[in-house]
Amino acid sequence: MTLADLLSLRSRTALVVGGSGGIGAAVVARLSEAGARVVSVDRPELDPPPGAIAQACDVSDPQAVAALFERLRAERTEPDLLVHCAGIVRDRVLWKLSDEDWRAVLAVNLDSAFYVLRGALPAMRQRGGGSIVLVSSINGERGKVGQANYSASKAGMIGLARTAAREAGRFGVRVNVIAPGLVRTAMTAQLPASVVESALAESALGVACEPLDVANAALFLCSSLSARVTGQVLRVDGGQLIA
């Protein structure tokens, strides 16, 4: 089998959750280039990336996610590949963090990942294979001042993925995590310059990552190049967190 064959996603359907965001749009583009039919899921007010089939859904709502998978079944677009990129931040130190901000971040970042995995796995199990990638963060591994809610949600994604990998592996389904560091997106563009400078200073390469760097890792984990890789956390962080 050639390298091109191993990287090819022809005849595969990929579901990208959060496909209208900076990282999500890059993932949509890269998986499409590899030949996948890509379904992009995001809030209804957001425009889908070019070339993707759009599905509007509030993925923090379990009933909305159940309805999404009903539509996917009816339209014969149930995924062989799933990349979860949805995420928000509501940064505050712990003693200033409201109940609402805690719940909102956990709902969008972690609860939605559970709802989407629960929706995707039955068909993957029945078909005897699939690949799932959850985009977490190095802050889910190390914690971060002002990000108790975000770090907890991203740490939870790692535990969720590793459990799913153990439960679904016997059915040929692989589940992995990408943990980015600082990535240049609209979200990180709002960070204070001092925060960006600190992240670059702790990076071994001294540069910020781009959304395409994360998308390339997602392509690897979705492709046959990673056929024996599951339950792993792949850091795409320029060496911010070396342990």
Residues tagged active-site: 150
- Nearby residues of 171 by Cβ (< 8 Å), 6 or more positions away: 124, 125, 128, 129
Using H for helix, E for strand and C for coil, what is the string for 63-104? HHHHHHHHHHHHCCCCCCEEEECCCCCCCECHHHCCHHHHHH
Q: How far apart are CA 74 and CA 76, in angstroms?
A: 6
Report residue 13 as tokens. Answer: 């359907």
Please state at what angle helix 148-168 crosses helix 99-106, rounded to 10 degrees: 30
